[in-house]
Amino acid sequence: MSTELGTVTSTVTNGIGTICFFHPRSNSLPGALLRRIAAAIDEAGADSSVKVVVLKSDGDKAFCAGASFDELCAVKNLDEARYFFSGFATLILAMRRCPKFVICRVQGKTAGGGVGVAAAADYTLATKGASARLSELAIGIGPFIIGPAVERKIGAAAFGEMAIDADWRDATWAKARGLYVEIFENTAELDAAVEAMAKKLAGCHEAAMRKLKAVLWEGTDHWPELLPARAAITGELALTEFVQKTVAGLQGR
């Protein structure tokens, strides 16, 4: 499959299901790629041989640049806009309903929807270079869809800070507020920590982990309705002249 569309690979080793996504533009996430990642998570959740899921992106640079600007510029009507932005809702909801813990490996910078992915994971580890940014307001929209996941993880005050001031926060800031459990000097140390945690969880009692995940996600039963509604808000804003001009100016950067 052409790498222009991005790739998703899934492997299972010793009870650890690893899902890796890639896109040539800093691991940005077009709608089709988001849905393929979500499908891979659903498959891992239903696979009895998988005890824990590791979600990662390819390479040692950016973890995820967020939404695909090319695809956003191609959106021409509200239905297309809603469908595009609902991709992030689809992925976050898949991570939420997966009965296995999802460990997220963040090896580099993450922006916009990528922050939402890191926040929706049950356990996120990162490098010291994994700065995070909610960039949506800077292009004329807002972190409406990923907002519930980010706020759940770091709290309302920190979410508001990131959403209003769309600038980079370093990994130390993100760790202090709970987005990352721990940060490491380099990807080698990060990978060792991810592997160690995945192996530990793969040996834990499956029923206990399933019930603990359900407890940790209490209060989110309304998300299957909330996130698509937020996608509709974002879609309406995305069609405005302000957003279209701003995003067009950022293409290719």
- pTM comes to 0.94
Question: Quick one: pLDDT at residue 74?
Answer: 81
pLDDT-derived band at 216 (thresholds 50, 70, 90) equals: very high
| Percent of residues, the chain, with pLDDT higher than 70 | 97
Give the orientation angle of helix 147-154 with respect to helix 113-120, to 10 degrees: 50
Query: Under a CB-based contact definition with an 8 Å cutoff, are residues 104 and 153 in contact?
Result: no
Domains defined along the chain, listed by start: 3-188 (3.90.226.10)
- Residue reference for tokens 């804003």: 237
pLDDT digits (tens, 9 = 90+) for 227-245: 999 999 999 998 999 988 8
pLDDT-derived band at 2 (thresholds 50, 70, 90) equals: very low
| Residue 174 φ then ψ, to 5° | -65, -40
pLDDT-derived band at 1 (thresholds 50, 70, 90) equals: very low
pLDDT-derived band at 252 (thresholds 50, 70, 90) equals: low
Where residue 200 falls (left for φ over 0; alpha for ψ -120 to 50; beta otherwise) is alpha
Higher pLDDT, 248 or 31: 31
- Which of 185, 184, 215 has the alpha carbon at shortest distance from 197? 184
Kindly state the helix (H) or strand (E) to which residue 7 belongs, with its residue range: strand 7-13
Q: Is the dihedral of CA 39, 182, 172, 60 positive or negative?
A: negative
- Tokens read off for 205: 């009692």
